[in-house]
Structure 1
């Protein structure tokens, strides 16, 4: 696939930094899955480990709970992304097949439909017909899929890519809070884990906002505050259970 609209080779009239390139939807989907996976891994594994640490200082239950949260969470994230994206891909393939069949059976009617769509976007009738004819001559299926359904037949999402883009960051993110919990003395485990988690969340929030072009400050504050609430809540519950002798 030729990337004809990168920043190095922009299309005529394209501003630098604008993502006018093929495969954008799929890359954004991987980014979304990766960021969500990393954040979930950091927060969920840390919350479990901190909660258990609040109840007991023994390393064995912390290790068992942390590893269970890490493995189970990674598989769950991958499975969820795979099922979700598989359903989306199946729907897109069905729509592509339907459009291909309609183009074979009623090409004139489909052309008029395409002309009507461009007229609805504000083009004059003659201009809309000329655009429809030229795009049809270039790639009739792609022209109709883009105008009617917003689908690029060469950019159908991959469920395996989405699953890996979610599971791998989750695993990496989940390992971060486990390291201080398992390697540091009991007195330092929880406070250092808090710091590691909040710094990691701030980094993922900033990177996601930077790539997406949104507010870095707002995104960073959101994930840091959410992570802090999760850690405080689980630690408080664990400490309460430990004090009550339940654990």
Structure 2
């Protein structure tokens, strides 16, 4: 079974668009928890255009007493971001190589250049009791370097798979992800996945064995507008339960 972690960024973005605390991010998170999601994810950016630092603190407080729900905080490891992680101590921190003005994540770490940097960050996160995951393209050479850097997990960046799925010819892309995931497992790494996964393409992706967690936000939010969040969460949980 694969764990579903819902990314709350778009809920925060909707709230921020009107200058009111509506929808309330924590209240929405509680609804998701009540529906059985395994985890919650946020990606606080430096300009706080969606999730704010206070959101991170409030969600950490919500999740802290819960034994069955994990908190995953994504982001570029700036000094401010790392200080936030130290203060809230989420279950998992996913390091993402984003520029401050980037619209959305669009590439994984180049471990050929940043392996030592990522290794130092991983050690610091582990010292705080936080699992370290790194955002990575499905490149076997990058997977090998991530394992040498001592991270706990990788999160495979799945946009290219999603685009291939829309085009109707995704088998070669899926095989690339499968090979990267299997290698990661052989090297002792856990494997997460995320970015542009949705109700249409997720089941095919989860034919890859041992995907521990998928983080889904944008598509899930859009699908919830059409079908209702209760139905959408139930559909995602069903797909995750049937994973390889």
Task: Please state which band the TM-score falls in when normalised by the shorter chain.
Answer: under 0.3
Higher relative contact order structure (alpha carbons within 8 Å, sequence separation ≥ 6) = 1
Give me the TM-score of the superposition, normalised by structure 2.
0.25
**Greater Rg, structure 1 or structure 2?**
1
Give me the TM-score of the superposition, normalised by structure 1.
0.25
